[in-house]
Amino acid sequence: MKKLVALTGAGISAESGISTFRDAGGLWEKYPVQQVASHDGWLADPVLVNNFYNERRRQLFDVEPNRAHRLLAQLEHHFDVAVVTQNVDNLHERAGSTNVIHLHGELMKVTSSRNPDDPTCIETLTRDNFEVQPGQLAKDGSLLRPYIVFFQEAVPMIDVAATLASLADIFVIIGTSLNVYPAAGLVHYVRSGVPIYLIDPKDVDAHMADVTFIRKTASEGMAELTRLLTGETV
């Protein structure tokens, strides 16, 4: 089976009702990103940061995967699919994708603030227990924090993602402004000659040539891509 790697961003979850970051009315218009999503912001006010992610977690229970998530999951019938997502929601998994790498962490998980990648400290929250209380501690006695890669922090999964991109036979970019590195740099690991598709309703600079632009929303774009790649009309 050919390997298909999909790099996804907030745009694929937009039609599920989760706001993107940099569109008009986006999350970073409403919240000061440095305060709620950076390492310094965490050190300055851990309660404010935990409350911000409590709110984003709460929203997760009211949304469903959309057609784009489902069509991407269905491509697993035709290809060996790896989803490399910048999103921290769990909509790819809920839509049925079985190989999802979260570059920027996962909203439903919390961890140690001393060693965020210590697997013995990573806990998965549930619908009945999704809020981190002020002063709540992780298993190692440090303050409990979101299992999210904040700005200023390393991206632990980037090497895995780069290797996947370098092995891809088809590379698909869906719903990301390609503003944030190192995620945006993954396109440069794709071997020359490998087809790259970019699905976005707006112009996005993929910083490289010969990209097939599908200038549509994620759902419509994934329907077109499915037709292009499999001949199936969905």
**Residues within window 38-97 making contact with ligand APR, judged by CB under 6 A:** 86
Nearest CB to ligand APR, comparing residues 178 and 190? 178
Report how far residue 83's alpha carbon sits from residue 72's, in angstroms, rounded to the nearest whole number. Answer: 9
Of these, 200, 222, 223, 225, which contacts ligand APR (CB under 6 A)?
200
The pattern of x and - marking residues 94 through 133 that bind ligand APR according to CB under 6 A reads ----------x-----------------------------
Among 217, 222, 225, 226, binds ligand APR (CB under 6 A): 217
Q: Give the dihedral sign, CA 36/41/42/44.
A: negative
Q: Taking CB under 6 A as the rule, does residue 16 contact ligand APR? A: no
The residue behind tokens 């329907």 is 223
Which of 69, 104, 188, 207 is labelled catalytic?
104
What are the helix (H) ranges across 91-183?
91-95, 158-167
Burial of 205 (0-12, 13-18, 19+ CB in 10 A): exposed
Number of residues that bind ligand APR (CB under 6 A): 23
For the chain, what's the residue count?
A: 234
Question: How many whole angstroms separate alpha carbon 156 and alpha carbon 152?
Answer: 13
Tokens 């990573």 — which residue? 122
Is beta strand 105-112 parallel, antiparallel or unpaired with respect to 144-148? antiparallel
By CB under 6 A, which span of 22-30, 48-56, 124-132, 226-234 interacts with ligand APR?
22-30
Question: Which residues of this protein are in contact with ligand APR, per CB under 6 A?
Answer: 9-11, 14-15, 20-23, 26, 86, 104, 175-177, 179-180, 200-202, 204, 217-218
